[in-house]
Chain A
Amino acid sequence: MERFTRLDALACPLGLANVDTDQLIPARFMSRPRSEGYGRFLLHDLRFGPEGQSLGFPLDAARHAGASAIVARRNFGTGSSREAAVYALWDYGIRCVIAPSFGDIFASNAVKNGLLPAQVSPDDAEAILGGLETAELPRLVVDLETQRIEAGGRSFGFSIDAVRRLQLLNGWDDLDLTRRHAEEIVAFRTRRLAEAPWVMPG
């Protein structure tokens, strides 16, 4: 997994609340193999009309071309557990989403792919959104080491679960951590099936 330490990049403000994973990637694209890249499916139906024409969505504004961060309102990534939502963000080039709250499953999926879900207060989200709209260049810096965001000449703190922060900083893979506990897993299994025999279906 790629490490996340510091991001100095263009950011796209999305003044939307409840951006669900069905919007991040509509279901009809999810049978495609990842090898084709999922970036072009990101927020597809908000961005493109029936003939594939641009609907003028902020992500496609010249001003936000090459953005690596997204700033949104509350409950980003709510809904379906589809990790393809993270694939679409990642393949598009997004490395960090800043919002006042995230869907739990989305936040977990994000970290497992190296994408930072940075949680800020609702007021700070509004300030960052406003700053990006008015700035000459919609740029910000996200530092995971110090848990600070620099945007529009101001500095904001953000929160992330301590373990997830370390995983991102170090690029740790869960499976490697799990393997260290192989013996404990075997012992647990034996005990579990003895104490609750009905766990093994007939």
Chain B
Amino acid sequence: MEQARTLFDKVWDSHVIVTREDGESLLWVDRHFVHEGSHHAFRQVDTRNLPVAEPRLTFGIADHYVPTRNRPAIADPEIAGMVERLSGNAARHGFRLFGLEDPDQGIVHVVGPEQGLTLPGLLVVCGDSHTSTHGALGAYAFGIGASEVAHVLMTQTLWQRKPKRMRIRINGTLPPGLSAKDLALQVIRTIGADGARGHALEYAGDAISALSMEGRLTLCNMSIEAGARCAMVAPDAVTFAYLRGRPMAPQGAAFEQACTAWQGLASDPGAVFDREIALDAGSIAPLVTWGVSPEDALPIDAHVPDPAAEADPARAGYLQQALDYMGLRAGMPLEQVAVDRVFIGSCTNARIEDLRAAAAILKGRKAAVPGLVSPGSSRVKAQAEREGLDRIFREAGLEWADSGCSMCVGMNGDLVAAGERCASTTNRNFRGRQGKDARTHLMSPAMVAAAAVTGRLTDLRKLARG
């Protein structure tokens, strides 16, 4: 009898070209996304004077450096150079570009699934750590560095050692107002920022089955913040309904044929995981980060940690340094932390559902602090405008902008000023991530909206209607 295999095993096995005696496997890559930051890799390709091996499986997306205001003009020549270099590489090597003026442009991890480019069972790579996002559709998707990007460009393959398998089962029902972001932060604070290091993660359980595709994308996106090599959800009816009719997904009979194959990808009963963890969705409160790592997350009704109460001196030192950077007082209630601005955007939380959740809180209210809303893609932006969400954000006093990585990484000039505190739907609260000496608190879109209304970290449930 055939050995029971996990979802990851099945996708891995179907991509192995050859396995060396030392255990490294050469894998076939089905989708390769590149962005403006991939310029180091293209330089390596040019140095060797080689073509891109599979231009039809390569897709360029302008997202990291693109402006979110006054397009298509780019004021900063250095940033303009980055965007132009990607366009040049796309033209020269003949791959499809979702450029600055393309109505389908957006953040790579939003656009891939949205276009139907990301499909179950595919191996997807991109020179960006949040490539784990695409695993929500049952793809094996992971971020790679520039040398690996160059290798994929030249060969459409990648050497990998098979990671261990880990399953996180989340059962129970998320309390009203909570979302996939709270699940993600709960996972990370439970297992740590390196808790899934070296592992391919699979999410299972009825809380996962109940998640929309947008929610699954958020959860898989944040899995890199737990150190996971990749994260996956087995394709199911939610996946197929999401993909049906997407522009670049298979159509008609080909789609039905693909669905039949995809149905077989789920982990077999009895498949063995190297690690198993169980969480209860029902017991989660809205989470916010207080420190400088995504693992520094606490329920909104908690207090800022006190280094003096910490027995381990290294841990106490870590807490103190984090509090110093964040400008927080030990022991203060999180709900008393005042914010200077808010940001709703990024590959984590800027899909249509995220914008709807934030708008539901902001509707008919004014923001007490300034803020920026940057939709995950130009298509999401258009959809939100059809639904009138842009009006809600504007009337609340927030700025409604174009799509890109924007203030999550600050490469395009959308920055949080030094010393300012930002309630953010993004994925990283690292020192300086949103700008030099900027202070980031991660939370869900509804929680960011609540913080916008009150000007401090706030339990969204106090503002939820009916």
Listed in ascending order, the chain A residues whose CB lies under 8 Å from chain B are: 15, 17-18, 20, 22-23, 26-28, 30-31, 34, 45-46, 50, 73-75, 78-84, 86-87, 101, 103-105, 108-109, 112-113, 126, 161-163, 166, 174-175, 177-178, 181, 184-185, 188-189, 192, 196-202
Contact = CB atoms under 8 A, between A and B. Distances in A.
B101 interface: no
A113 B18 contact: no
B78 interface: yes
Contacts of B255: 198
B431 A22 contact: yes
A27 to B, nearest CB: 5
B117 A201 contact: yes
A202 B251 contact: yes
B203 interface: no
A23 B81 contact: no
B351 interface: no
Contacts of A189: 28, 156
Contacts of B437: 45
A163 B198 CA distance: 15
Contacts of A163: 22-24, 161
A196 B13 CA distance: 14
B432 interface: yes
B411 interface: yes
24 contacts: A15-B314, A22-B428, A23-B432, A27-B410, A27-B411, A34-B40, A45-B432, A45-B436, A78-B293, A81-B143, A104-B229, A105-B129, A112-B147, A162-B22, A163-B22, A166-B22, A181-B17, A185-B28, A196-B121, A196-B258, A196-B261, A199-B57, A201-B116, A202-B251
A26 B151 contact: no
Contacts of A79: 129, 428, 430
Chain A facing B: main interface SS: helix
B261 A83 contact: no
B154 interface: yes
Contacts of A81: 127-129, 143-145
Contacts of B314: 15, 17, 73, 126
B157 A178 contact: yes
Interface of B: 14, 17-18, 22-24, 26, 28, 30, 37, 40, 43, 48, 56-57, 65, 78-79, 81-82, 116-117, 119, 121-122, 127-129, 142-148, 151, 154-157, 159, 161, 193-194, 197-198, 227, 229, 248-251, 254-255, 257-258, 261, 292-293, 295, 314, 317-318, 409-411, 418, 428, 430-433, 436-437
Contact of A15 (B122, B248, B317): B317
A175 B193 CA distance: 32
User: Which 8 pairs from chain A and chain B are nearest by CB?
Assistant: A109-B145, A83-B145, A83-B146, A112-B147, A81-B143, A198-B250, A81-B129, A75-B194
Given A78-B227, A104-B198, A163-B23, A198 B410 contact: no
Contacts of A83: 40, 145-147
Contacts of B151: 174-175, 178
B30 A199 contact: yes
Contacts of A198: 119, 249-250, 254-255, 257-258
A197 B428 CA distance: 38
B159 A177 contact: yes
B115 to A, nearest CB: 9
Contacts of B229: 104
A196 to B, nearest CB: 7
B21 to A, nearest CB: 10
Given A20-B428, A82-B37, A198-B257, 11 more contacts: A15-B317, A22-B432, A28-B410, A46-B431, A78-B227, A105-B129, A112-B145, A112-B147, A163-B23, A181-B17, A192-B30
Contacts of B254: 197-198
B123 to A, nearest CB: 9
Contacts of B411: 27-28, 30-31
Contacts of A82: 37, 145
Given A23-B432, A30-B37, A184-B17, A80 B129 contact: yes
B316 to A, nearest CB: 12
Contact of A181 (B26, B142, B257): B26
Contacts of A105: 129, 142-145
